[in-house]
Amino acid sequence: MNVRDSEHLIAELNQQEPYQITDELSDADLIIINTCSVREKPVAKLFSEIGVFKKYKKPSAKIGVTGCTASHLGKEIIRRAPAVDFVLGARNVSKITKVINTKHAVEVDTNFDESSYNFAEYRTNSFKAMVNISIGCDKSCTFCIVPATRGDEVSIPSSLIISEITKSVALGAKEVMLLGQNVNNYGRRFSSSDEICNFTKLLQQISMIDGLERIRFTSPHPLHMDDEFIEEFASNPKICKQIHVPLQSGSTAILQKMKRGYTKENFINRCEKIRKLCPEATISTDIIVGFPDESDSDFEETMSVLNTVRFEQLFSFKYSARPHTEAMDFDNQIENSLAGERLTRLQTRHTQILDEIMDSQLGKIHRVYIDELKPNGKVSGRADDGKLFFIDGSEELLGRIIDVKVTRTSRGALDGEII
């Protein structure tokens, strides 16, 4: 979501005057720090980064802070770091050309509705397009700051989504990544139209776009994963067979305290349905350990879901207490050292599972979409199920979907040869 917001920022700036991206801090006329605030660490990092930028930047260069930390700290950022010229919250991206010319501008309205705003075109990789389908989040997971920084959930009109994807396909994209906090809650609320559409129907419409070959999306919510959606996922050949299903915890008691709206059994049932209809699908997840009150047996429940579902990718975090969240005030916050031990156990077990999955890949054939040039005569791309491949090759392979045989396995990426 933040990567796409950064592209939108660049697109809007380029409408006013052409900008070039530089790796040299001392060359930059404008420095934008696009921030996350989902855990505490990146917020602390922001202020140390501002210090570094201030020291090495051109004296005339402006510094802007955008994104979720901008939304939740607002003018406090300029008070703590007066070197910052402007603060622009998530969901206010379209105002970038306004704030860069107003000293100490602060635009952090979380009710601002950008759902029908037609952003200018800019993509860092023309082979694959990220496209937002909704903004904000209507859930109230007790650990999560996002509803406070990105505001209420609003779906983007399907006509706008279709025209954006069609445009990106005409410019060379064969793959789209649909983005939203809760993609499968699509259609819950539009800002002004009387449109009726849900995620499954949106996927069907998108898959009719000529020249588009692959559809990915992130993230669906386990609660909204109905049978109709899973059937579409399994049967639509354009939908990539990789799905991220955020678990958060395997303990029903903790899930209740998190206000996630599903039980351990519901979650496993959804994953089993996916596997039954689509055995080749890879499932990935997010897990938080050390949520307030998490006992040893709650944590064992999480381990048991890991062992049952065997997630191919795992994004795991120690719980971090955040402002504007209910869980911040819960009793029985867990010791950092205990959360650390649990995280290590979870990750160690996941690594074993991943090694087993990857080892079984030797000699297998995947259809890989080559979308990046790498150093040392290599290109990279992803298989339909999300596996990352490195292959010997050069520029002429870019943008092609080819059959590749796995020649060497490792945890992160597979080596392959074209067959």
Binding site for ligand 5AD (CB under 6 A): 38-39, 143-144, 246, 248, 286, 288, 317, 319-320, 322
Residue 180 in contact with ligand SF4, rule: CB under 6 A: no
Q: By CB neighbour count within 10 A (0-12 exposed, 13-18 middle, 19+ buried), where does 14 fall?
A: middle
Least distance in angstroms from the C-beta of 390 to ligand SF4: 32
The CA distance from 377 to 359, in Å, is 25
Least distance in angstroms from the C-beta of 42 to ligand 5AD: 11
Q: Work out which of 146, 183, 197, 230 binds ligand SF4, going by CB under 6 A.
A: 146
Residue 151 in contact with ligand SF4, rule: CB under 6 A: no
Residue 91 in contact with ligand SF4, rule: CB under 6 A: no
Ramachandran angles phi, psi of 313, nearest 5°: -120, 140
Q: Cβ contacts of residue 115 below 8 Å, gap of 6+?
A: 134, 135, 154, 155, 156, 157, 190, 191
Q: Which residue is nearest to ligand 5AD (CB)?
A: 286
- Span interacting with ligand SF4, options 82-90, 143-151, 204-212, 334-342, rule CB under 6 A: 143-151
Residue 364 in contact with ligand SF4, rule: CB under 6 A: no
Residue 39 in contact with ligand SF4, rule: CB under 6 A: no
Q: What amino acid is encoded at 320 in this protein? A: S
Residue 144 in contact with ligand SF4, rule: CB under 6 A: yes
Structure tokens at 44: 């602390």
Q: Cβ contacts of residue 111 below 8 Å, gap of 6+?
A: 151, 152
Least distance in angstroms from the C-beta of 39 to ligand 5AD: 5
Q: What amino acid is encoded at 410 in this protein? A: S
Strands 175-179 and 282-289, by their bridges, are unpaired
The CA distance from 323 to 146, in Å, is 11
Q: Work out which of 45, 75, 139, 201 binds ligand SF4, going by CB under 6 A.
A: 139
Angle (CA) 110 115 121, round 5°: 115
- With CB under 5 to 8 Å by kind, the binding choice for 221 among ligand 5AD, ligand SF4, none is ligand SF4
The CA distance from 252 to 30, in Å, is 48
Question: Is residue 364 within 8 Å of residue 391, measured between CB atoms?
Answer: no
- With CB under 5 to 8 Å by kind, the binding choice for 182 among ligand SF4, ligand 5AD, none is ligand SF4
According to DSSP H, which parts of 132-213 are helical? 146-150, 158-170, 199-206
Residue 322 in contact with ligand SF4, rule: CB under 6 A: no
Least distance in angstroms from the C-beta of 228 to ligand 5AD: 24
| Per-residue DSSP letter, 159 | H
Token pair 């649990």: residue: 342
Least distance in angstroms from the C-beta of 320 to ligand 5AD: 4
The CA distance from 31 to 244, in Å, is 33
Residue 184 in contact with ligand SF4, rule: CB under 6 A: no
Residue 221 in contact with ligand SF4, rule: CB under 6 A: yes
- With CB under 5 to 8 Å by kind, the binding choice for 322 among ligand 5AD, ligand SF4, none is ligand 5AD
Which residue ranges make up the site for ligand SF4 (CB under 6 A)? 137, 139, 141, 144, 146-147, 181-182, 221
